[in-house]
Structure formats: C-alpha cells, structure tokens
Structure 1
Amino acid sequence: MLSPTKNSLKKVETLAKELGYTVRYEKGHFQSGYCLVESKKVVVVNRFFDTEGRLNVLYDVLSTFREEAQGELSDPSRKLWKKLRPFLGIRGEEE
C-alpha cells in the first residue's frame, strides 16, 4: 500500500475519479463507504477521518472494482492501479 500522506490520498482520489467514482467528504455520524445514487458511483467519506482512514475507505471501495478500465486511465493512474491491484485482491490481465 501507499504511505498515508496527503499526496498519496490525492493520487488515489484521482484514480477513483478516473474509474468513475465521485468522492465526497461529508460530516456526520456514519460509517464511510460507497453507494449507488441513480446509477452513479458515489464514495462518501467521513470528513473527520484522518488521511490514513480516508485512504483505507478508498482502498476498500476500489477493491470491489472488477472492470478493466486500463484504456480510460491516465498514465500515472494506470501505474498506480497496477501497483495497488495485488494489495486490493484484484486479478486481471497483466500488461
């Protein structure tokens, strides 16, 4: 996994957005996670979580992603996706 820094969080947020997720930070008494709102993928993260907690939520959401979207990703996101897939338990075609 990546070290829990704001830079790492930004990279994973960008990856999630390129995979079709909308990432939102909201306050409240709730568990973070994701949901489908009118067929849109929305990740809602508790804004009071620290950087490591935010990354863990995004990792959890990305671990459910099973489609191959390699062609739609920017080059930095493609490299990050390839690096994270083994840690997220995602198998797929190797490049």
Structure 2
Amino acid sequence: MALKYTKHFLDKLENLFASSEYVLRYEKGNFKSGYCVLKETRIVIVNKYFPLEGKINALVDILSELKLDPSGFKDKANQEFLKELQQTTLKF
C-alpha cells in the first residue's frame, strides 16, 4: 500500500487510534523520534508541530510498533485498513 500524504489519510489513521484502546494526542515536546508511546497508560503523543507528512509517518510507525490485532476492531473498514497498513513498510 502506498502512503498518501493527505488530510483524509491522516483522518483514517486517527480513526484507527480512536477505535483502539490507545488515546492519540498531539502535544508539543522534544521527542527524539517525534512521538512518544506510554504503553502502561495507553497514550500515544505525537509532536503537534510536525508537518502532515511527519504525522502520517509517525502514526504508521507507531501502529507497526504496537502490533494491534485487526480482529479487535468492530468496524470492518478499520480492520481492512489496519491489515493493509501492517503490510506496508516505510522507506526513508
């Protein structure tokens, strides 16, 4: 799957987090990777000053790190979207 750097694609990623047990927040901070995952409290924090492309790359990277189970989502569209994302690899 090719990543699309659009607001709509970012919205789809944000909906995945909204449907999961993790809370997504945009905050200012000096994270070395641009994001921070607090696994015990299930909070994902992304640097709010990132450009659109940076936010999308960070969220895709976080999703691959969290290894969420697609069957845990009630919405079929979210299940399919997550399956596609899990087959995507980021190339820098």
Give the alignment's TM-score, normalised by structure 2.
0.78
RMSD: 2.1
| Residues 25, 44 of structure 1: 8 Å contact kept | yes
What's the CA shift string for 1:10-48, capped at 9, x where partnerless?
1011112222221111123333223226x2211111111
1:27 aligns with 2:28: yes
Structure 2 counterpart of 1:9: 10
- 2:85 maps to 84
Query: Separation in 2 of the partners of 1:6 and 1:60?
Result: 17
The 1:73–1:56 alpha-carbon spacing in structure 2 relative to 1, beyond 3 Å, is farther
Are the aligned partners of 2:14 and 2:24 in contact in 1 as well (CA < 8 Å)?
Answer: yes
Unaligned runs of 5+ in 2: none
In structure 1, runs of 5+ residues without a counterpart are 90-95
Q: 2:74 and 2:36 mapped to 1: Cα distance?
A: 21
Q: Distance in 1 between matches of 2:8 and 2:23?
A: 18
d(CA) in 2 for partners of 1:67 and 1:25?
20
**Cα distance in 1 between the residues matched to 2:5 and 2:74:** 22
Distance 1:22 1:13 in 2: 10
Percent of paired sites with the same residue? 33
- Partner Cα separation in structure 2 for residue 69 and residue 11 of structure 1: 14
Range 16-25 or range 64-73, more displaced: 64-73
Q: Supply the distance in 1 between the matched residues of 2:89 and 2:20 (Cα, whole angstroms).
A: 15
CA deviations 1:59-78 (Å, max 9, x no partner) are 11101123424142412211
